[in-house]
Structure 1
Amino acid sequence: VAASPPEARELTGVDAIPTEGVPNVTGWYALPADAAPDAGSRILLNAAGESPNAVVPMSTVAPEYAPDGRALLAATFLGDGPLHRPADALRDDVRDALRAWFPEGDFADLETVDVHRIRFAQFAQPPGVHAALPDTDDPEGPVVLAGDYTEWSSIQGAMESGRTAAEAARAYL
């Protein structure tokens, strides 16, 4: 069963599958290339404030993603609040953060390209959650679980779970 945690739990009845999710909003922003912050390829973490949580200079690491003559930034907003905030308010938060980090910069022309709102980006991972996660072979019968919720909520956790699930499924062949 390779599905999101809530769907996997509904399909299999395995109670150990976590169903509390953490939302994520990713905003995509463009500004003139000559106005882009000089951050190199570093991820900018907002340690002083809550919004945005991080800004990534995407056009620095993947120039082909940026609109012609523009720099492209991705900003991450975690939690429930950003799911319900207007796109222009999120953009204003990004502009304010950039101005705080790069006071010599001009970010007046920062514009929103797109906003992705994901209600269940990953399962919640409070301390101790990993000891209670299900094993890939927890469902009864010839059913295996393949999802990050058997390891840890990440791409790596999903890949490790897929490998483990494939090994478990092989036993049923």
Structure 2
Amino acid sequence: MKTAKICDSCKTVLRSRDPINEFAKRIATLAFCGSDCGNETQSASDFSPGVVESDEELASCVCHPNHTDKDGEVVYKASDFAFTHGMSVTRLSHKDGGLESVISFCRDTFCKPGRDYRGTYVFKASAPRGVFWRDGTRAFMVLDTAGKSLIAHADVIATRYHGDLARLASTEKLDRLKAQISFFRKMKPVDESA
């Protein structure tokens, strides 16, 4: 993909993190910017190594209780943040220390305090990009959201049905759950037993 920078107006939207639980909704609006800022061929950061390619391997931290059912089993909720905060992922090809570094971060930093580490899941950027709503439009975007100290950072962002699942209409809940389950089936847990 050719890389170009997003417009200044969209950079302002991206930098604004208040309220954090509406970040995904704000980012999804970039898709409607007249400058094509949300089409994933634009870099959202001055610190970026480039746009996220579909064949890039990404890693995501999974914690209890955020991404699990009541019994602590990892379920489709692993992608819940794509509808609120933005689902933070690490671009493994741009991360110093690679997957081992990500696993350490997930276990020792991200899933603390009050959250139990349940694993690190990996998937290609094409996984969420290959999930569609029933009208044929894409359910998720994967955007480069690198920061000065986090150049390997990206976000999976839902294109619709943002916010708390309980507040959505029944048909919207069903559509969202189908998309989340479809994406989750493409996520693979890292075997840490070795």
Task: Indicate the TM-score class for this superposition, using the shorter chain for normalisation.
Answer: under 0.3
Larger radius of gyration: 1
The alignment's TM-score, normalised by the length of structure 1, stands at 0.26
